[in-house]
Each structure stands twice: as C-alpha cells, then as structure tokens.
Amino acid sequence: MSVFHLKRVLLLFLTAGLISACSEGTVDDTQPPLNYQYVMPETTDDGWVTGHLNDHQLSEHPINQLINNIHNGTHPGVDSLSIVRNGKLLLHENFRKELNHYDDSVGNNELERHVMHSTSKSFVSALVGIASDQGFIPDISTPFYQFFDYAEYQNWDLRKEEMTLENVLTMQLGLKWDEWSHPFGDEKNSLTELTDNNNDFVKALLDLPIVEKPGTTYQYNTVASIALGLLVERATGMPMEDFAQLYLFEPLQIKATDWLMTPTGFPNTGSGLVLMTRDMAKLGQLYLNNGKWNGQQVISENWINRTLNKSVSLDWNYTTGYGYQWWLGDLKYNEQLIPFYSTRGYGGQFIVIIPEFDMVIAFTAQNYTNNLYDSPFTLIEKYILPAII
C-alpha cells in the first residue's frame, strides 16, 4: 500500500465531519422488529455475568420504548447499546445491518465490531496508567520530551522542556494547535495540516512551535494521544499492541481487537481502535470498580482517581471538565444533576459511567453528519435514567 493511500485510510478515522456513514454493502436485510420486548443478554465466555433488568431495579417499559424507537428511526444512527448495573450486563442489542467505510479500512467484516474513534484515547490513557503502576514511567511530572529520542526538534523553545506527561494527558501541551475551529479537510485545521504533510505524526507534533506555557490552556489534540501510545512503547520496551494485549485486553477478557496503523506502522491510539460493544463496557466497569475486573486489579485505584479528577474545567453541553483523556459531566435526573464520566468518540462511540446508580452504558453509532453526536446523553436522560425503579 502506498504512503499516500495509507494516509487517506488513516484520515477516515481522524476526520470530524467530512466522511459520512454511507454503507458499502448490505450484510443483513432482516426487517427490524415492530414491537421489541426485552430479553436478557446472551451469556458467553467474555467474562460478563448477565442479569435481568427487573432484578436490578430497572423497568422494562422505558427500555422497550428506547429500543423500538431506535429500530423505527425515531433515534437514528445508533449501532449498538449495552447497559450494565451492579456489575451485571443487563442489556445488549446490536442494530447494525451494514458495514461501512471504517470497517473496510481495517478489514473488519463483523457487525458486532465497531471503530471507537476518540474513545481510543481513553484506552491509551489506561495503558499509560498501567505502565506507571508497573514502574515503567517514573512519574507523570516527567518532562514529555524525555520519552523520545529524536535527534533534533524544529522550533525548539525552553518551554518545551517544561511540558510534562500530565500536561499531555490533560490536553494542555501549549503547542500551536487547533483541530476544532475549522472543519477537517481545511488546511487551517491543525490535524489536517499535520497528517497531510508528514509521515511521522509524533515527530511532527513535537516539532510544532510552542505558544503558551504547558499546563495552562486546553486544546483537544488527537495526535497527542497517538504520542501517548508511542510513549508507552518507548517506556516499556514492548510494542504498544503487545503491551495492550498482555496488560489490558487479556485481563479484561477482550479477544477481538484491531488497530488502524499510521504511515510509520504505529497503532493509531488517537482514534483507531476497533472493538465489540460488550468489550467497550468492560473499560467502564473497570473504572467504576476502582481498577478491578472480576476480582483482578488491572489498574491501580490511585490511577483511576487521578484520571477522573477534574484537571481542566469546561462549561459545554454535558461537560464540566476533562481528566486524563476522560470527560466529566452531569446528567439530569428528577430535576437534579447527576455526575458522570465518559469516553467520547466521533459519531457516537461513548462509554458512560454513572457512579451514583452503579451503571455503565456503552453506545456505538454512525451519527457523523447529522448533529446527533451527543445523542447517547439525551437517550440516557429520556429513557435509561427514567427506567430506574
């Protein structure tokens, strides 16, 4: 595959608005049910203990209504949904009928698997935490550039020496960067400019001019999350994919994973992970359970607490702040605001954790161009929280 074509494939995952979810081929033309009635999820060998909604204080009626409204198009674009409460998988439904561009890019032919887009960032944050727990990373206050061994850098500035690993985890690098003010594909978009003109995305990121003191200003940066993945590889001395498999995916009993690769052959830890929805929900349960999965401590409780601390204050819809590649926010329930934290991926790939109700909710979706990116939150408020008995 040529470098040019490989870049084009990669950009399918990085774009934030150009590529639609047009299908490439029909896989299943089964008509959706006209009157869905709740059934318990299938028990498999994936580590989940399943349960019934009613046994965990959730009413079937609002959930039936939600699933029917997804099927009939009232709430378009939702590809799958899993609901966990009290550590039990209570609902799993897959609505996908067709594969799309993103599946083709990684050779995926399973409807149950879905590209995570920026939810990938929260997984790489977990890998940084595991590497830190194991002593491969001495301290998150370590200067970020010390983890890399490039011979030289462009636009060197002494302020770059002040940039720490924690600054990168919280998207406060201080580099000249803006991937939100202009649509992807516009040369003024920093992500477009960098990925169109460089093979080594991490080196190009580190070469950027620094314009602010690190740790002072939040700027969402997808390539920074790719750099975190490379940092894990450099710090541990293991290929990033192998480290992820051994220390995160295997403990979580996640068997089917894939990564889109950057032009240098490195996994796109900013937006290129492909998973099943039931496996997505495991990351949420891991964090809800202070780093444990089925009794095994996979990540330290200390790292979980630091990750979910509000490092950056934000005031957006469903957003109060940002931690270590995780989002913090509030949901409305009975006229009250209920704190939650989540991953968020372009198009609607969300893992939502609501500690007060011991709940994890995972969505995949293809709402790329219809302004329904935040629909998981509205669906939770409209149907799932009202189901609590």
**Residues paired with residue 143 on neighbouring β-strands, in sequence order:** 164
The C-alpha atoms of residue 123 and residue 24 are separated, in whole angstroms, by 28
Q: What is the secondary structure of 175-209 as a DSSP string?
A: BS--SSSS-TTSTTSHHHHHHHH-S-HHHHHHHSP
Residue 31's pLDDT is 52
pLDDT at res. 11? 46
Q: What is the pLDDT of residue 103?
A: 86
- Cβ 106 vs Cβ 115: under 8 Å: yes
- Quote the pLDDT of residue 26: 36
Phi, psi angles (nearest 5°) of residue 259 = -130, 140
pTM of the full structure? 0.92
Averages of pLDDT over each 10 residues, the chain, 389 residues: 40 40 37 80 97 98 98 96 98 95 86 97 98 97 97 97 98 97 91 97 98 98 98 98 98 96 96 97 98 97 98 97 98 97 97 98 95 95 98
Contact (CB, 8 A) for 302 and 291? no
**Amino acid 22: pLDDT:** 34
CB atoms within 10 A of CB 187: 10
What are the chain's domains?
A: 3-115+275-387 (3.40.710)
Question: For position 104, what pLDDT does the model report?
Answer: 86
